[in-house]
Structure 1
Amino acid sequence: MSSIFVKQTGPPSPPLEKATVSVHALSGGHFTLPEYQFVHPVSQEARKHVPSLAFLIQHHNTSNGKTTRIVFDLGLRRDIKRYSAPIQKHVTTRQPMTTDPDVVKSLAKGGLTPDDIDYVVYSHVHWDHIGEPRDFPKSTFIVGHGALALLDGSSASLRGGHSFFEHDLLPEQRTVELSDPTASQSKMNYAKSQGQWGGVNFERLWQPNGALPETLDVFDDGSLFIVNAPGHLPGHINILARTAEEHQLYLAGDACHDRRLLTGEKAIGEWHDAEGHVCCIHADRKQAEETIARIRRLEQDGVEIIFAHDVEWENVPANKARFFGAEGGSNFRLSRAALQHHTNMSLSDEQQKLKAQFDSELGADAFDEPWSRLLKHSPEMFAASLRLTSVPKKKGHLAPKIQSLILLSVAAASTHLHVPNIHRYTKQALQNGASKAEIVEVLCLTSTLGIHACNIGVPILFEVLREEGKELPTGMDGMSKEQWAFKEDFEKKRGYWHAFWEDFLRLSPEFFGAYVEFSSVPWTNEGGKGVLEPKVKELIYCAFDAAATHLYKPGLKLHMKNVLGYGGTAEEIMETLELATLLSISTMDVGLSVLDQELKSAGQA
């Protein structure tokens, strides 16, 4: 068998942000399971029609532009007559069954062919996961340690009609068996285990990762791990993928066949074969239970879990868009509906009540990953933050769209630049009816914050010059025609004048003139007035001037006066200050995300 190794060409360059992969589900057919062979207690007559899910994983290496495509499992074989005779006999017990669409058709739906797939990684080599390897003539096949012994018949015998294997399943020259994750890692060649950052290397060292004792970092960037998941079958492996900054996805293969095993409602099932022998769907029940316990812990920590025959996951309407090529499809960043479904599965009664209150007061669409994390770590702070956030929304002196735009200005201000909230409030503004032009105008208005370096610095400079006996004239006396022209241009475009601009204009008329043009864009574009009414523009100035990251008193007072001059009210100004105060919750957003990362690094996740 061949091995995969990318030669180290230089020191790795760590990413500025967490590396991610995209993951899309692929349909690999459906078949029927007798529940008693998988869970206990359950009726002997109970049967469940389940999917055989596969997944397309794509990794983009930012250093060289290469995209690596991996398919995890291949589902059912399109033509069941191409299974070996013992497997065909077993298939008769799994009817009804459908094999269309298979993985090849599922890839085609999104515009890919098997030739586009670099690697096929098998969770294990049971018949309902192996698909049709000959459909992938250019791919390298990756299997867990012990899988090849099953295929060549040298492994210990396993009971049950599902445990038949095809010795000629995989092409020898394009197959890699992973190293033994339980062997002494110190005996491995360390240099061989290294690879270029973002490059594929299936011979890296197995390393612990939080609650998972043996994982292999495929790209050496934390985006994709192969996880040793013993118990079900020799060579059984899972996938842990980071699909967004704050979202991880665990593909559990056949570590678990029924979600009730994760919740503890059911135990692993056993049955007797025709000869009276006790059979279990797992080769080693004890190890399987330990693997399930680790997966349960991951789910409690917020990792999304999907197993190969996860019919409950498939039946969530929001997950239809997470299949490759689906209309409106997306990577496995949690959609709102999917996030709610995933969150509700692991909440206590108290947390469920708080979540329901959140949905009632702010709307289910507002519940995102930072809110979910806060609810998990501190229900008390979640409740307090919800109450604080709800006040301006309930009072409603400002329309929801205007509230969203004000929140966006605070998040996007150069003194804060909280990217998660920029995303959050941009999306919220669009949902509340804001146009692209209105959002751009908010960003233009907020970009003027930097001028306060001059508003603060110039008066201090004049004070220092006076103390040093180098006092300059103040006011507009003695100004040139050009300087007077700049003042008139400012008044015309901005609609006001303040004495603190005069010293600035005296010292640097060139920069002042440039600033007039810079700051006037949102007041003069779109037909000469901008798209937001003047009162709203002034409220946005108030918001970022008042925010805790800026606290610019002179500007705040000026723009409050301007709001009133444009017909605004004290209630509207107060509501703007309340919205600016919500910046405080960003501490929890960022801090709890870091806490999760450090707990994981310390093995306490």
Structure 2
Amino acid sequence: MGTLDARRQALKEEFTAARGYWSDLWTDLLDIDPDFFEAYKNFSSSPWKRKDGLEPKVRELLYVAIDTSTTHLYDPGTRIHMRNALRYGATREEVLEVMEITAMLGVQSCTVGVPILLEEMKSTGMGGPLPEAQLSERQEDLKKRFVETRGFWSEPMDGILRLSPDYFEAYLDISSVPWKSGKLEPKVKEFVYIAVDAACTHLHEPGLRIHIRNALKLGATGQEIMEIFELISVLGIHTITQSLPILTDEVGQAGK
């Protein structure tokens, strides 16, 4: 791309002013389709125009969460938003804490799978691991520790605890680390869970409901949670940032 014309230069400057950064990821789109770029600029900038919303550091940490999620793993965005978060005052420990929280997404293999397993065991006459109301002394202690550390309990956790207390204890220990030694305030930790569960690459409604409820109990407002949805709704643009360079290359090859 050569020298920008007046309109494209103005759009680049407006994007940089609204979002606080510029990346060459946007160069091809700005060059080829300034109309779509302008519409995206306005769309993605909407929550950033809010004067009483989430602080910029938290916004960037939420982008880090959805880009580092195992359902996405988008390295270009991860680098951009880590850099932005650090520039807005985030520490290395805070960024790592976001990744530690996000890394727990894998347990949803169990929170989704175990209830189905228990239902199918009952339907085939195999019953469950323990009578409905009965937990061993160790299991009761693990449940108590989970509630004390994480501040909630959910039905899928009950099934995991019943079927595999050893695994449950290991999950309790690793998922509790950010809650015991992390620096982010509890409400922000819940914002990270909300962002990961609501991202278009995951859309995990049970977890989303749990963490919205937790965030509200911790003092979050409906407007703050709505802003999380607005921020992460831009994830779909990675269709273009990943694929437009390929199109540009292929068009160039075809023209040779």
Question: After TM superposition, is the score higher than 0.5?
Answer: yes
* Aligned twin of 2:43: 388
Instruction: State the secondary structure of the residue aligned to 1:350.
Output: helix
CA distance in 2, matches of 1:349, 1:533: 44
**Higher Cα radius of gyration:** 1
- State whether residues 19 and 45 of structure 2, in contact with CA within 8 Å, keep that contact through their aligned partners in structure 1: yes
The correspondence for 2:216, drawn from 564, 571, 588, is: 564
The correspondence for 2:93, drawn from 420, 424, 437, is: 437
- State whether residues 129 and 163 of structure 2, in contact with CA within 8 Å, keep that contact through their aligned partners in structure 1: no
The structure with the largest helix share of the pair is 2
CA distance in 1, matches of 2:83, 2:147: 34
Instruction: State the secondary structure of the residue aligned to 2:184.
Output: coil
Q: How far did 1:477 drift?
A: 2.2
The correspondence for 2:34, drawn from 367, 375, 379, is: 379
CA distance in 2, matches of 1:570, 1:391: 17
Superimposed CA distance per residue, residues 217-271 of structure 1 (whole angstroms, 9 cap, x where no aligned partner) = xxxxxxxxxxxxxxxxxxxxxxxxxxxxxxxxxxxxxxxxxxxxxxxxxxxxxxx
Superimposed CA distance per residue, residues 531-584 of structure 1 (whole angstroms, 9 cap, x where no aligned partner) = 000000001100010001000000000100000100110000000011111111
- State whether residues 474 and 502 of structure 1, in contact with CA within 8 Å, keep that contact through their aligned partners in structure 2: no
Q: How many residues align?
A: 255
Instruction: State the secondary structure of the residue aligned to 1:472.
Output: coil
The structure with the largest strand share of the pair is 1
Change beyond 3 A, Cα 1:385–1:463: same
CA distance in 1, matches of 2:84, 2:77: 10
The correspondence for 1:471, drawn from 103, 127, 131, is: 127
Q: How far did 1:475 drift?
A: 7.7
Instruction: State the secondary structure of the residue aligned to 2:238.
Output: helix
Structure 1 counterpart of 2:12, which letter?
A: K
What does 1:320-335 correspond to in 2, within 5 Å?
Answer: none
* Aligned twin of 1:588: 240
The correspondence for 1:555, drawn from 189, 207, 223, is: 207
Calculate the TM-score normalised by the size of structure 2.
Answer: 0.95
* Aligned twin of 1:353: 10
Superimposed CA distance per residue, residues 275-323 of structure 1 (whole angstroms, 9 cap, x where no aligned partner) = xxxxxxxxxxxxxxxxxxxxxxxxx3xxxxxxxxxxxxxxxxxxxxxxx
Q: How far did 1:377 drift?
A: 2.1
- State whether residues 65 and 195 of structure 2, in contact with CA within 8 Å, keep that contact through their aligned partners in structure 1: yes
Calculate the TM-score normalised by the size of structure 1.
Answer: 0.41
Change beyond 3 A, Cα 1:442–1:576: same
CA distance in 2, matches of 1:440, 1:424: 15
Unaligned 5+ segments in structure 2 are: none
What does 1:108-187 correspond to in 2, within 5 Å?
Answer: none
Q: How far did 1:417 drift?
A: 0.4
CA distance in 2, matches of 1:511, 1:442: 23
Instruction: State the secondary structure of the residue aligned to 1:554.
Output: helix
- State whether residues 476 and 502 of structure 1, in contact with CA within 8 Å, keep that contact through their aligned partners in structure 2: no
CA distance in 2, matches of 1:491, 1:359: 44
Unaligned 5+ segments in structure 1 are: 1-299, 301-344
CA distance in 1, matches of 2:131, 2:184: 32
Superimposed CA distance per residue, residues 179-221 of structure 1 (whole angstroms, 9 cap, x where no aligned partner) = xxxxxxxxxxxxxxxxxxxxxxxxxxxxxxxxxxxxxxxxxxx
- State whether residues 361 and 390 of structure 1, in contact with CA within 8 Å, keep that contact through their aligned partners in structure 2: yes
- State whether residues 409 and 443 of structure 1, in contact with CA within 8 Å, keep that contact through their aligned partners in structure 2: yes
CA distance in 2, matches of 1:602, 1:475: 67
- State whether residues 444 and 522 of structure 1, in contact with CA within 8 Å, keep that contact through their aligned partners in structure 2: yes
- Give the share of equivalent positions with the same residue, in percent: 39
CA distance in 2, matches of 1:601, 1:382: 25
Q: How far did 1:486 drift?
A: 1.4
Change beyond 3 A, Cα 1:476–1:536: farther
Alignment partner of 1:419 is 2:71: no
CA distance in 2, matches of 1:361, 1:474: 56
CA distance in 2, matches of 1:462, 1:359: 52
Q: How far did 1:368 drift?
A: 0.6
Alignment partner of 1:368 is 2:23: yes
CA distance in 1, matches of 2:119, 2:192: 31
* Aligned twin of 2:250: 598
Alignment partner of 1:407 is 2:71: no
CA distance in 2, matches of 1:462, 1:476: 11
The correspondence for 2:226, drawn from 552, 571, 574, is: 574
* Aligned twin of 1:304: none
- State whether residues 64 and 77 of structure 2, in contact with CA within 8 Å, keep that contact through their aligned partners in structure 1: yes
Structure 2 counterpart of 1:346, which letter?
A: T
- State whether residues 112 and 156 of structure 2, in contact with CA within 8 Å, keep that contact through their aligned partners in structure 1: no
Change beyond 3 A, Cα 1:466–1:558: same
